[in-house]
Every structure is written in structure tokens, then in C-alpha cells.
Chain A
Amino acid sequence: MSDNLDALSRALPRLLDGLLITLELSAGGALLAFVVAVGLGLMARLDNILLRGIARTVIEFFRGTSLLVQLFFLFFVLPLPPMNIELPAVVVGVLGLGLNYGAYGAEVVRGSINAVPAGQWEAATALSLSPAQRLRRVIFPQAWALMIPSLNNLLIQLIKGTAVVYLITIVDLTAVFNDLRQETRDVFFTYSLALVVYFAIAYAFSGLMTLLERRAKHRLGQSGRAVGARGAIA
């Protein structure tokens, strides 16, 4: 056990680097995913059949092909002759995670906006708000409170998804723990620790989302207690 702790303290700087990469991928991926989700989610509700068609195609494409396929495409295919676009691996990771989970999020955004009662739209129109004002000041704040629990689930999925990026040569937390396993030769110790660290990250991010949910509900005048992440992911 003390050997393990020695190895752990030697590996600590590398572990912190790996942790930083995993946090960067989680935060960057989540941010991009949110932008993609809102963009595509709003686009998928438009009356214009062309724009709606594009949004649907993009959503189904990124939802239907696997995350790892998308990462491999960005990482292995783009740099080769026809495309010749070489991106740093971490950028590939953020792009892949953001696009994949953004497409899932788009369905959440679309569903939540649809779930806002029709009377709210009518009332906003009756107050002669412009379409943009209507969405920004009346509809979206209500939809936002509805979508947070599902987005929270997706965020946890995204954080868990970051653990595959070591397959495209990124030295993230999992990669460093793999090295630590080789140094300590103690599988149980190493991966138990890895799981605990990932759990703590997911828990912290999820706690943040619960705070956001409470605030969103408070602003709507619903003081009911926020419901944490549980249950279904679309």
C-alpha cells in the first residue's frame, strides 16, 4: 500500500495535468454542446422546411453515428490528403464531444420549448412582443427551467464520454491512470481511485446544474425545490 502511495505521489503532477485536460474537455465540450443544442433545437422548430430539414439531418447524423466514429473521423480522416485539416487532438476532442452531445441536447431544447404552454405564446403575442422578444423574455426562461434536468443527465454522459479520448492520443485522466496501473501493478487501487475522481467531477458539475435549476425556477417565481439528475436520457 505504501508503494502505491509513493507511486501516487510521484504521479501527482501528471495526474493533475490529466485532470486539467479532462476538465477542459468536459467544460469545453459542454459549452460547445450547449451552443449546438440551442442552435439546432431552435432551427428544428422553424417553419422553413429547408432550415428545419438541415437541422434534423445534422441532429440525426450526430445522434445516429457513434461518438467514437466521430472522434476517429475528425482525428484520422481530416488530416489525410482529400481534406488536409490537422487539428490539435484536444480540439478534436472538444469538437467531437460538443457535436455529439449537442445533437442529443437539441432534442431536449426542442422538446422543452414545445412543452411551454401555448397560452404563453398567445399572451406574448397579445402583448405585441416581437418574435425574438417573445422567445427571449417569455418562452426560453420557462423552457430553460424544464430542460435543465435532462441537460444535467447529458452533461454527466459527456463527462463520462471524455474517458475515450485517450484512444486519440490525448493524455487525459484515464491515460494517466493507465500509466499508474503499470507502475503500481495494482489494478484495484488504481482504477478505484480513477472511478472516485470521475465520480467527484460528475457530482460537482451536476451540483452546479442543480443550482442553475433552482435559480431558473426562482426567477420564474416557482420556489419549489429543484429535482436532481435522475432517470431517462433521450
Chain B
Amino acid sequence: MIDNSPWNWDHVWAALPDMLRTFVTVTLLVTIIGSVIAAVLGLLLELLRRSVPRPVAGVLTFVMNFIRMTPLVVQLLFIYFAFTSIDPLIIGIVVFGVHYATFMAEVYRAGIDSVPPGQWEASTALSMSPGRTWAAVIVPQAVRATAPALGNYVISMFKETPFLATIAVIDMLGAAQAYGGSHFRYIEVITVAGVLFLIASYPTSLLVNRLEKRLAFA
């Protein structure tokens, strides 16, 4: 049965439950846990890079640049086929987290560099230990300055979750495509997938923009 109508709402209602379910159980899940991993690991990587001897830091920087400049898709495939016994969803979360950690580390680097040298000097003058200086003075200021940039990466991670299709994880777009393939009707499901992405990402990016402006004049 070929449906020639330009738009048929029945397909939307038929596919929507599955799409919304995968939106929560895959798309949002990977974005949220992936972001947490990326934000924490990114900070750890940047702090590590600053505390190890120069040659080691050089190697670390190279590895991070390598991860940053190579496709997420190939990294997903690599880890997926290398560890076939692990649940692909977990692989997805970890690979997204590590990939974006290398981006967030760069953001932290800029943030830490932007903390005025007077803050270091003041901490020394108050005879704070290096650990205390980092934890109580530098990192809080650096992270505050970097919040908008981190937010932007969370949004781009969110929009890259459909790449999980390459490792057989069915996300929202995957569910849409599966429905489209079995009913020979793509227009409704793909459009709805796009709209769902837009509904979630546009307000978030407005929020990030406002945050950016507020912090800029703070």
C-alpha cells in the first residue's frame, strides 16, 4: 500500500511512542551521563597536563589532540568492535564522554589561563598550599568563566547522539528510521525527529547565550 499523501498524521502517532521512549532512554541518557564524564574527565586531564613533567604533558597533549581531531564515528566503531562483550550503550556513553572531555579540557585550559595572576600571588601571600589554591581559588573561577562554552559542547554532543546508529544503538533517529524503512514513509518520522531536536536544543542554546552575556558583564 503506497501512501501518496504529502503528510499523514497517522504515521506520526504510530511512531511517536517509540521515538519518545528512545529519546529518553538513549538520546538524553547518553547526553547527560556523557556530559558529566566529559566535564569531570576534561578537568582532570587539564589539571594532569599542568602537573606532570613537560615531556609527559607533551605526549598527553598529542593524544588529546589526536582524539579531538579524529571522527567520533570511527572511535565508536573502534571501541565497539574491540570490546564486543560490552553493552554498546555503555560503549557509546564512554566514547562520547572521552571524546568531548578532550574538547572540554581545552575550554578549561583557556578558563584557567584567564584567572588573573594576582589570584595566584594572593593565595601564596595567604600561604595557602598549592592544592588548596587550586581547589578553593583557581578552579572555581575558571569553571565559572567556562560554563557557556561547556554548555555549547553539551548541545553539540546531544545533536551527535544519532551517530550511535553506527554501533547498533537505536536512538530517537534510529527509531524514526526503522519505522520509515518498514512503512516506506520517511517524511513524517524524520521531520518529527528534527523537530524534537530543535525543541530540545534551541531553548538550551538561548539559555547558554544568556548565561554567556551575564557572565561577560559580571
Contacts and interface: CB of A to CB of B under 8 A. Distances in A.
Contacts of A203: 69
Interface in A175-234: 177-178, 181, 187-188, 191-192, 194-195, 198-199, 202-203, 206, 230-234
Interface string B153-182: 100100111110110000001001100100
B82 interface: yes
27 contacts: A64-B202, A67-B160, A68-B162, A68-B163, A73-B190, A73-B194, A76-B180, A76-B186, A77-B190, A77-B191, A80-B185, A81-B4, A82-B6, A82-B187, A163-B72, A163-B73, A187-B81, A187-B82, A188-B82, A194-B74, A198-B70, A203-B69, A206-B69, A231-B110, A232-B149, A233-B152, A233-B153
Interface in A2-20: none
Contacts of B7: 82
Contact of B173 (A63, A66, A81, A198): A66
Nearest to B77: A191
B162 A66 contact: yes
Contact of A69 (B82, B109, B190): B190
Contacts of B73: 160, 163-164, 174
A144 interface: no
Interface string B57-79: 00000000010111111110110
Contact of B74 (A65, A76, A191, A234): A191
B201 interface: yes
A172 to B, nearest CB: 10
A46 interface: no
A85 interface: no
B156 A233 contact: yes
B107 interface: yes
Contacts of A80: 184-187
B73 to A, nearest CB: 4
Nearest to B6: A82
Interface residues on A, range: 35 or more
A178 B73 CA distance: 11
Contact of B75 (A69, A177, A181, A195): A195
B2 interface: yes
Nearest to A203: B69
Contact of A65 (B149, B156, B194): B194
A219 B87 CA distance: 54
B205 A64 contact: yes
Most buried by A among B73, B176, B202: B73
B118 to A, nearest CB: 23
B159 A67 contact: yes
A193 to B, nearest CB: 10
Contact of B197 (A66, A164, A192, A231): A66
Contacts of A194: 74, 78
B202 A160 contact: no
A85 B127 CA distance: 71
Contacts of B75: 195
Contacts of A140: none
